[in-house]
Chain A
């Protein structure tokens, strides 16, 4: 059977992650979600399966896979639950990948093996209270104390994924290291002056970990600079470009999960003496949902294929993210509608999907920012 753009091995990975999501995640995730609790036991199992090492080389403990493999896994996880999917996405795309891409040998050896094994998580702190989409406008500063050979960081970050778990080992933060000069600096968890606020009360992604961070004369060694001084902004832009494909895959998974749940429910729920799935309006709604999920998948597969081939993918990644997140919200809305009152009850998976869908149009670049990227890529300044 052909699965567009996937090798036999990628298809097998897809099947394996699907099995894990259905057998291990689905039965337990609702409880974690209700309690706003981080599912350490699932993260541990995902680590044992090698999911955190998917796009990394085996020298560092990785799986010798590629970004496509990561996206395949994310889609299948999100088809069942988005919290575990975003935990994996952020851990790799935002956490480990910048260190892999821009880190020195020393930094890679020190931080990556435990991240790749899923024993630790890393976070990426870009967004601040007064700068999100406009991420070049940050206010956090890092001053070099030459005599001590240390960066002194002051400021704060908001909405940072994976930043406060008991296994979080570091947060990479962007900070002003001079006028109009942004650099990225690794701040190990537990560094004095680095405070993690209690978790937010979120609408969705309730079993994922998100915190506000503050830095108050927080000192880290000079060698914690990640990549080139002053290149922090350019570095994270390139990281976000590929991250969009991952979020598109995750959004596609949610959209497909809505189809799965709706097909099941529509066949079993009866109204006016027949299963609701026998009514054409329900059938058409589900057919539209499936069509949207399918095109969202084609969009992210295309962007991922370009990335893996080393070709330009910026526009395609933005299109995939824009389209898939729109589709996720549309499908979640329709799936809830098909479930009637039950769809409004948190114990139904579609309710979770509805709550988890909206953030997809906001995180890692809002839909407006995706349109901006597409328009600029078409030459409109």
Chain B
């Protein structure tokens, strides 16, 4: 089984993050850049599939030079190799453009399963898996909390707010996962050492046959027009208990859909 895991480098969600004042993009220069958390679960799931069914796991990343650091970290968990799409023209690319580039790269690799996180902690759009599947003309099994494989049949438990749905599709397919699906492994020292020597193929837009106009600032169909700081917390609502405080609390909780 040929598995590709999409890995994105993002600013550490534990630290303070900002948008740049000039172009409203995420400020990645000051931030401590890490692997998007949900992607670690996708890597773990890919490695478990490989352990059970054999095959090869490849990391696919689109990102600037410094994303190679995250690629190496991903490889230290155990995948066999990586593809890094690196091109100056990619700066400013939106989700649509990203899906175009990744789809082109995936067509070259031709995997049975594409695994990815259900969302990234920087943009949080949750749209990329669907866009990719659409571009590739394959099924999208999104938001998985469980994945099983029998032959060429993939079955997921799709996590919803109320419970879960069982969804199946034949390979090839895109599967996005939530952090409920597994417990990612910590890389071993041997894995860290081995990651240095694993093959990382670097591809440019030209290699993928994607023109610069279709991506970057020029190709973007969406953009952030402006941004402002989150407003300070408001004081909230006080419930004075004159006998029916409990009822009021329950009403508040049900109105706000907490219960």
Q: Closest A residue to B187 by CB, please name it.
A: A16
Interface 1/0 per residue, B174-206 and A, CB below 8 Å: 000000000001111111110010000000000
Does A50 interact with chain B (Cβ within 8 Å)? yes
Does B73 interact with chain A (Cβ within 8 Å)? yes
Q: Which of A19, A20, A48, A69 contacts B189 (CB 8 A)?
A: A69
Does A63 interact with chain B (Cβ within 8 Å)? yes
| Complex contacts, B73 vs chain A, CB 8 Å | 12
Q: Which of A9, A16, A62 contacts B186 (CB 8 A)?
A: A16
Query: Size band of the A side of the interface?
Result: 10 to 19
| Complex contacts, B193 vs chain A, CB 8 Å | 9, 63-65
Could you tell me the distance between the alpha carbons of A58 and B186 in the complex, rounded to whole angstroms? 18
Could you tell me the distance between the alpha carbons of A9 and B193 in the complex, rounded to whole angstroms? 6
Q: Which of B185, B186, B190, B196 contacts A63 (CB 8 A)?
A: B190
Cross-chain contact B190 with A50 (CB below 8 angstroms) = yes
| Complex contacts, A58 vs chain B, CB 8 Å | 190
Could you tell me the distance between the alpha carbons of A50 and B189 in the complex, rounded to whole angstroms? 7
Cross-chain contact B190 with A13 (CB below 8 angstroms) = no
Cross-chain contact B188 with A9 (CB below 8 angstroms) = no
Could you tell me the distance between the alpha carbons of A62 and B193 in the complex, rounded to whole angstroms? 13
Does A30 interact with chain B (Cβ within 8 Å)? no
Within 8 A of B (CB), among A30-65: 48-50, 53-54, 58, 62-65
Count of chain A to chain B residue pairs whose CB atoms are closer than 8 Å in the complex: 41
Cross-chain contact B189 with A13 (CB below 8 angstroms) = yes
Distance from B76 Cβ to chain A, minimum over Cβ atoms (Å): 7
Q: Which of A9, A48, A53, A65 contacts B185 (CB 8 A)?
A: A48
| Complex contacts, A13 vs chain B, CB 8 Å | 189, 192
| Complex contacts, B191 vs chain A, CB 8 Å | 50
From A13, A48, A54, residue with most partner B Cβ within 10 Å: A13
Could you tell me the distance between the alpha carbons of A87 and B6 in the complex, rounded to whole angstroms? 38
Within 8 A of B (CB), among A61-112: 62-65, 69
Could you tell me the distance between the alpha carbons of A9 and B192 in the complex, rounded to whole angstroms? 6
Distance from A308 Cβ to chain B, minimum over Cβ atoms (Å): 14
The answer to whether residues A49 and B188 also contact, given A9-B196, A12-B73 and a CB cut-off of 8 A, is yes
| Complex contacts, B186 vs chain A, CB 8 Å | 16, 19-20, 48-49
Cross-chain contact A54 with B185 (CB below 8 angstroms) = no
Interface residues of B (CB under 8 A from A): 73, 76, 185-193, 196
Interface residues of A (CB under 8 A from B): 9, 12-13, 16, 19-20, 48-50, 53-54, 58, 62-65, 69
Beyond the given A12-B76, A12-B187, A64-B193, please list 14 additional residue pairs across the A-B interface where CB-CB is below 8 A.
Answer: A9-B193, A9-B196, A12-B73, A16-B186, A20-B186, A48-B185, A49-B185, A53-B188, A58-B190, A62-B190, A63-B189, A64-B190, A65-B189, A65-B190
Closest 9 CB pairs of A and B: A50-B188, A63-B189, A63-B190, A65-B189, A49-B186, A9-B192, A12-B192, A13-B189, A16-B186
